Chain A
Amino acid sequence: VTDRDDFDRFLHDWLTEDATRRPPSGLMDDVSTAIRSRRPRSAWSAMLRGDGMDAPIRLGSWNPRPILLLGLLAALLVALAGGALIVGGLTRQPLTVIPSPSALTTSLSEFAQLPPSRPISAVGSVPIGESDGTARRFASDGTSLWVSANAGILRIDPATATVIGRVTPPATGSAFDFAVTPGSVWVVDADQASVTRYDAKSGRSIAVIRVPTVATWITSAAGAIWVGTLSEGTISRIDPATDKVVATVRVTDPHSSRPLAVAGEDSQVWIGLPPGGQVVRVDPASNTVAATVPVPALVGATGSTYLLISSGTLYALVNNSQGWSTVTAVDIASSSTLWTTRLDGLVSSPIVRPDALWIELLGAGSSPATASIVAMDPASGRVIDALGDASGPASDLTDALGSIWATRFGPQGRLDQFPSAALTVSAR
């Protein structure tokens, strides 16, 4: 086979004779099985992979596919960078959007006038042994009073005014939120997407419930536990019978950086949405948003926000970083604003009594250290009474178990107990 033609012929014959072997019988079966578990890729994916094309993309002898891929990668990086700039720009926008007085339904050109304050005196006190004296928030299960403090969540016997038990979450010391139901204490785990249920009597953990994201607030309403987050704009419903999340309801756009406020009643849960200036009602029967009520004052919320529902009226307390606040009453049935009152100071701890809406007002007037408990007329929003609390500001105030309770800042943490009749409007 020295001659070239002979060599070519010889090679051709050799290859042809060697090519008579048939493929194994199982080859097609294997292929058939493999393709039935996969779907063809999209045309774009096939093109980018190159071997999916019936002819390569060519410019003369130059194959531009790597360049095409690099171009697409560069375009993707530019798009991501642009997106990051846009998002960064949006998040850098000031969150403080103070509404002009004309944006509200009631003229807010002036602060509400406060009547002269009457003194109020505690009739009892409960030392809680906190070195830095920070008792934060109250809740009641109908028989005991619970208060969150650095050492945990303390159970107070109202009859003896003593600490009779405690629940100690791992994140003690941080601003965890909690809710109580008969026999149980529910605590948001500060750093994890979970809620821990504790036995109220023994203080032991009895269940850890996974929730979709790290929760920032928790409340008990309509026979369920509700938890929500700032970042996701969702609330999740926990069934106390099974300790499982049974529904998650989206109430606002995700990544909302504003605080949410929540109020629960037997048959409804209300969520305040400061970015949109509205409050939504979640129907526990269907786990859906059933109503939306506009509350323009919420647009300006840059501080803590409180919601309270009573007798068909929604009260929204909105604090602003400039040290003033608004209180708005909304008629739920008609979704109309009844009144909005501007107060010189920061508000918290609303309590509804038959004759008035009572509010803790901190920093009223020229002195930020002054504290008052003011009464507002539910019909007009006028401030009709004020109590001067000689013990200073309370971090929370609650009306529970026949008394008014106040948590105290200061070096020696304690709860002060006032008679229930103390929150009665005095005729002037």
Chain B
Amino acid sequence: VDRELVIRAQAGDADAFTSLVASAVDGLYSTSRLILRRDDEAEDAVQDALLRAWLGIRGLRDPDRFEAWLRRLTVHSCYRTASRGRSRRVVEVAPIDVGEPSVPDRAENLAARDQLERGFRRLPVDQRAVLVVHHFLDLSDADASDMLGIPIGTMKSRLHRATAALRAALDADDREPVLVGGRTL
């Protein structure tokens, strides 16, 4: 991170701030999209995080921590966005986009990805976030806990619970559906 740009942004230089976040926005959007599993909500979360970053940049004590700070703001924006999504009266059913694998894959792999997607979506947003931070961003425990805004012990236990919950979700998906009275249970 260019310290000079951060300091200029803290002085109110909007161009400096735009330059700072332009290089980070792809990663922030990817993180948000993985956590929220919706393109529109991911876009909202990133916009919210960047606006909060601009408004709060004078509270950033160490310019070298700008990037980590921005990621933490993004995770918290994801929490807020997911909370707003839950409060909607009408439940929106978004199409499941499993993504295009980067290499040709076997049929069973596609099925496994579909199971993973379904299981992932069943997790609470904080468990999705800890999985993304740990498995996608590959941050150290200290950085991951800092990004999530929780102590390391809490982060580890949450990761354990999230992994167990995801595996349980996959196991549940593996079970054969039972037809009772014309409804699938």
A and B from one complex: yes
| Cα A42 to Cα B43 with chains together (Å) | 27
Q: Is A35 a contact partner of B65 (Cβ separation < 8 A)?
A: no
Measured between beta carbons, the chain B residues less than 8 angstroms from A16 are 136
Q: Is B55 a contact partner of A23 (Cβ separation < 8 A)?
A: no
Within 8 Å of chain A (Cβ to Cβ): is B149? yes
Task: Look across to chain A and name the residue whose beta carbon is closest to the beta carbon of B40.
Answer: A24
Measured between beta carbons, the chain A residues less than 8 angstroms from B98 are 18
Q: Is B151 a contact partner of A53 (Cβ separation < 8 A)?
A: no
Q: A18, A43, A55: which has the most chain B beta carbons within 10 Å?
A: A18
Within 8 Å of chain B (Cβ to Cβ): is A92? no
Measured between beta carbons, the chain B residues less than 8 angstroms from A12 are 135-136
Q: Is B62 a contact partner of A18 (Cβ separation < 8 A)?
A: no
**Interface of chain A, main secondary structure:** helix
Within 8 Å of chain A (Cβ to Cβ): is B52? yes
Contact partner of A22 (CB less than 8 A), chosen from B29, B60, B66, is B29
**Interface of chain B, main secondary structure:** helix
Measured between beta carbons, the chain A residues less than 8 angstroms from B56 are 40-41, 46, 49, 51-53
Q: Is A35 a contact partner of B51 (Cβ separation < 8 A)?
A: yes
Q: Is A1 a contact partner of B59 (Cβ separation < 8 A)?
A: no
| Cα A38 to Cα B55 with chains together (Å) | 8
Binds B, one of A25-33, A186-194, A264-272, A397-405: A25-33
Those of B60-114 within 8 Å (CB) of chain A = 60-62, 65-66, 68-69, 73, 76, 98-102, 112-113
Q: Provided the pairs A12-B135, A27-B47 are in contact, do residues A54 and B61 lie with their beta carbons within 8 angstroms?
A: yes
Task: Look across to chain A and name the residue whose beta carbon is closest to the beta carbon of B102.
Answer: A17
Q: Is A18 a contact partner of B58 (Cβ separation < 8 A)?
A: no
Measured between beta carbons, the chain B residues less than 8 angstroms from A40 are 9-10, 12, 54-58
Number of residues on chain A facing chain B (CB within 8 A): 42
Taken residue by residue from 41 to 66, chain A's Cβ proximity to chain B (1 for < 8 Å, 0 otherwise) reads as: 11101110101111110000100000
Contact partner of B34 (CB less than 8 A), chosen from A18, A32, A53, is A18
Q: Is B99 a contact partner of A35 (Cβ separation < 8 A)?
A: no
Binds B, one of A3-11, A93-101, A134-142, A378-386: A3-11
Within 8 Å of chain A (Cβ to Cβ): is B178? no
Number of residues on chain B facing chain A (CB within 8 A): 59
Measured between beta carbons, the chain B residues less than 8 angstroms from A61 are 151, 153-154
Within 8 Å of chain A (Cβ to Cβ): is B21? yes
Q: Is A24 a contact partner of B68 (Cβ separation < 8 A)?
A: no
Q: A10, A17, A42, A54: which has the most chain B beta carbons within 10 Å?
A: A54
Q: Is B65 a contact partner of A54 (Cβ separation < 8 A)?
A: yes
Task: Look across to chain A and name the residue whose beta carbon is closest to the beta carbon of B29.
Answer: A23
| Cα A317 to Cα B163 with chains together (Å) | 90
| Cα A23 to Cα B166 with chains together (Å) | 27
Within the complex, the shortest CB–CB distance from A125 to chain B, in Å, comes to: 76
Tell me the number of A-to-B contacts counted with CB atoms below 8 Å. Answer: 143
| Cα A20 to Cα B163 with chains together (Å) | 23
| Cα A55 to Cα B147 with chains together (Å) | 9
Q: Provided the pairs A23-B25, A54-B69 are in contact, do residues A42 and B58 lie with their beta carbons within 8 angstroms?
A: yes
Measured between beta carbons, the chain A residues less than 8 angstroms from B151 are 61
Q: Is B99 a contact partner of A28 (Cβ separation < 8 A)?
A: no
Measured between beta carbons, the chain B residues less than 8 angstroms from A52 are 52, 55-60
Within 8 Å of chain A (Cβ to Cβ): is B46? yes
Measured between beta carbons, the chain B residues less than 8 angstroms from A28 are 18, 21-22, 25
| Cα A14 to Cα B58 with chains together (Å) | 37
Within 8 Å of chain B (Cβ to Cβ): is A428? no
| Cα A267 to Cα B143 with chains together (Å) | 76
Q: Is B52 a contact partner of A36 (Cβ separation < 8 A)?
A: no
Measured between beta carbons, the chain A residues less than 8 angstroms from B55 are 38, 40-41, 46, 52
Within 8 Å of chain B (Cβ to Cβ): is A34? yes
Contact partner of A23 (CB less than 8 A), chosen from B26, B34, B66, is B26
Within the complex, the shortest CB–CB distance from B136 to chain A, in Å, comes to: 4
Q: Is A27 a contact partner of B60 (Cβ separation < 8 A)?
A: no
Within 8 Å of chain B (Cβ to Cβ): is A19? yes
Measured between beta carbons, the chain A residues less than 8 angstroms from B146 are 55
Within the complex, the shortest CB–CB distance from A236 to chain B, in Å, comes to: 38
| Cα A15 to Cα B113 with chains together (Å) | 10
Within 8 Å of chain A (Cβ to Cβ): is B132? yes
Within 8 Å of chain A (Cβ to Cβ): is B131? yes
Task: Look across to chain A and name the residue whose beta carbon is closest to the beta carbon of B13.
Answer: A40
Measured between beta carbons, the chain B residues less than 8 angstroms from A30 are 47
Q: Is B135 a contact partner of A8 (Cβ separation < 8 A)?
A: yes
- List 13 A-B residue pairs with CB atoms under 8 Å apart, sorted by A's residue number: A7-B163, A17-B101, A20-B30, A20-B100, A21-B39, A27-B43, A28-B21, A38-B51, A40-B9, A40-B58, A46-B55, A51-B73, A54-B68
18 further A-B pairs in the complex, CB-CB below 8 A; given A17-B102, A49-B59, A52-B60: A1-B170, A10-B116, A11-B135, A15-B34, A15-B132, A19-B136, A20-B102, A23-B43, A24-B43, A31-B21, A31-B47, A40-B9, A40-B10, A51-B52, A52-B52, A53-B60, A53-B69, A54-B60
Nearest 4 interchain pairs by C-beta: A52-B56, A46-B59, A52-B59, A23-B29
Query: Which B residues contact A (CB, under 8 angstroms)?
Result: 9-10, 12, 14, 17-18, 21-22, 25-26, 29-31, 33-34, 39, 42-43, 46-47, 50-52, 54-62, 65-66, 68-69, 73, 76, 98-102, 112-113, 116, 131-132, 135-136, 146, 149, 151, 153-154, 163, 166-167, 170
